[in-house]
Each structure stands twice: as structure tokens, then as C-alpha cells.
Amino acid sequence: MKFFVDTADVAAIRELAELGMADGVTTNPSLILKSGRDIVEVTREICGIVEGPVSAEVVATEAAAMIAEGRRLAAIAPNIAVKLPLTWDGLRACKVLTGEGFMVNVTLCFSVNQALLAAKAGATFVSPFVGRLDDINLDGMQLIAGIRQVYDNYDFRTQILAASIRSVNHVAEAARIGADVMTAPPAVIKALASHPLTDRGLDQFLADWRKTGQKIL
């Protein structure tokens, strides 16, 4: 499973990229707001840090305007994936932009049927939002599993990008189901390394090592 970093924080992206933990980046208007930076400038910087796809989201809601914004964003760098909302106009824009050879990430997906439409419109990625479904007492992971099954049934090439990933359990579950990609905030990716038994075991080893009185270097 590929790891995308869900942030526009360049320092956090750089740290994860150096470790090989950033196969790509996803941004959205809320994350651009949080960064406090100009969308074109920060997106260009991010595209220089990671080699993989960097999602940049349009804000128009009508297809022709989405297409124009998508072309503008795609011109920032060759690794841009234009992010479009899963609306009828978004699907129309997806068809045109993928036809022009651009990567497209269709976002705000909350149902298997929406994901089916994204695949038929030729999307490179579809982004089902796990955490936001959990927020309203639905099972976000069931959506990932449903999309996986349908895409496999018909051999759709669109990659399932599990988004709105909020916890380490979400990551493990998405990997078990076979999501192609997951995108999570840097803190969630770093938390994957933590386990209380690792901490406890290390404390014990170090305590015993001190008792040996030895040094390695």
C-alpha cells in the first residue's frame, strides 16, 4: 500500500519523504488554509520534494471552470493529480482531464456507486473518506471493502485512495482490505511506529545492558 501524506506542511512532508514514507501528497482547500501559503507556491514546493502524485484540488463547481482550474494546477508540475469533487460536474471534468493525460483524484466519495462512476469516468484515484463516515456512525472501512470488491469484479484500474484516515487502526484495516493507497496526516503515519510493548521491551533491554557494565563503542 502506498502512503500519501495528507498535509501542505512542507517540513513534515520532507521528513517523511527522507525516510521513504511519502509516496505522494494530498492537499485540499482546508489544508492550504492551514498552511497559510499561496496554493501555487506551496504546491510547487511540495512537487519538488516528492516524486509521486501530489493532489491539488479545484474550487470551481461547474465542469468548464473545473477543467480550466485543473489545467492551471496541472501546469504547476508533471506530478500533479488534479483533485475534483465527486459531483456530476466533477465527473465530466474528470473525463476531459484524464483524456488530456492528466492524473485525476476524484474526492469526497461516500458510496460504492459514486466510486463506480469515478472509475467509469477514468479517474486515476478515487478518495473514499473513512473518518467522516465513522463520524456519522457509519462504517468507513466497509466502504473501502465494497469498492475493492466492485473494482476487482470488473477489473477497474482506478486506484482506491483511502482518505480521511484518522488512526493507526484505519491504516492497518485499509491495508488488509487492499486499498491501493492511504493518505493520512503526518502524526498518524509517525504513530504507526509506536507500540507500548516496544517501549517496555526497550526499557528492559537498556536496564539489563547497563547492568553488564559493557560498551559497544
**For the CA atoms of the chain, what is the radius of gyration?**
20
Q: Which of 2, 83, 120, 190 is catalytic?
A: 83
Q: Which stretch binds ligand G3P (CB under 6 A): 9-17, 45-53, 162-170, 206-214?
A: 162-170
Note whether 183 binds ligand G3P by CB under 6 A.
yes
Q: Which of 166, 167, 180, 190 binds ligand G3P (CB under 6 A)?
A: 166
Indicate the residue type of 43.
T
Site residues (CB under 6 A) for ligand G3P, limited to 30-89? none
The smaller minimum CB distance to ligand G3P, of residues 98 and 183, is found at 183
Q: Are 110 and 147 in contact (CB under 8 A)?
A: no
Q: Which stretch binds ligand G3P (CB under 6 A): 32-40, 125-133, 144-152, 203-211?
A: 125-133
Note whether 124 binds ligand G3P by CB under 6 A.
no
Instruction: Kindly list the distances between the CA atom of residue 208 and the CA atoms of 42, 136, 199, 214, in Å, as whole numbers in the listed order.
Output: 48, 49, 14, 10
Q: Are 167 and 188 in contact (CB under 8 A)?
A: yes
Q: For 115-192, list the strands marked E by DSSP.
A: 125-128, 159-162, 181-184
Active site (annotated) includes residue 83:
yes
Q: Are 56 and 27 in contact (CB under 8 A)?
A: yes
Note whether 102 binds ligand G3P by CB under 6 A.
no
Angstrom distance (rounded) from CA 25 to CA 7: 7
Residues near ligand G3P (CB under 6 A) are 6, 26, 28, 127, 129, 131-132, 163-164, 166, 183
* Catalytic (active-site) positions: 83
